[in-house]
Amino acid sequence: MFNVGDKIVYPMHGAGTIDSIEEKNILGENQAYYVIKMPGEVKVMVPTSKAEQIGVRNVIGKEEAEKVISILGEDETEMAQNWNKRYRDNMEKMKSGSIYEVADVVRNLSFKQKEKGLSTGEKKMLSNAKQILVSELVLAEHATQDEVEELIENKINLSFDEYKAPHDQIDLNTNVVNKFIPFDSEDNN
């Protein structure tokens, strides 16, 4: 059971705050609903009796947020080469409601976008996954949306550079001055 003011996550939609709990008569049935204020002034109603069943959960804490950020800094996990299978696998991760799985999707699709580009469907999925990730980290870290978006981009760029960017082999014979030039300390006074 959640209370007014609780910061919660609604899978596939992101994080928000319970604005109120209202009794509604829908299709002749009285039922209590959580009214959740989501980013962008969007309000979502979720039946209180089904909230946990559909994966509504509390926003992660600071410690879990640090773990999420560290996932963004890791190498990508293996994904199917077939875009259709990859899309379905990533959709399952997002539907799980696990912020760790969402972070995995964001990192993996970001890497793929930098390497080869993404299909229209995967671009939309990446955008949705980032929105979900950002909305929860904003509440977990007590930070602004801009700060969290910048943190995510920086972490992904660093990990991409570390794990995926081509690193040229340095040939010491061609890239280093081959002649030793001594300093004469008496001439520099």
Residue 39 confidence (pLDDT): 85
Residue bearing tokens 């081509």 = 166
According to DSSP, the residues that pair with 46 across neighbouring strands are: 34
For the domain made up of 62-163, the CATH class stated in words is mainly alpha
Measured CA to CA, the distance from residue 9 to residue 134 in angstroms comes to 12
Is the domain defined by 7-58 classed in CATH 2.40.10.170? yes
The strand order across the sheet containing 14-26 reads 42-47, 29-38, 14-26, 7-10, 57-58
Residues of the chain falling short of pLDDT 50: 169-181, 183, 185, 188-189
Q: Where are the domains of the chain?
A: 7-58, 62-163
Q: Residue 138 CA to chain centroid, in angstroms?
A: 11
Taking each helix axis as running N to C, give the angle between helix 83-95 and helix 99-115, from 0 to 180 degrees, rounded to the nearest 10: 150
Q: What is the 3-state secondary structure of 131-148?
A: HHHHHHHHHHHCCCHHHH
Residue 177 confidence (pLDDT): 45
Residue 152: CB atoms within 10 Å: 21
Residue 168 confidence (pLDDT): 54
15 contacts: CB under 8 Å, gap ≥ 6: 7, 8, 9, 38, 39, 59, 132, 135, 136, 138, 139
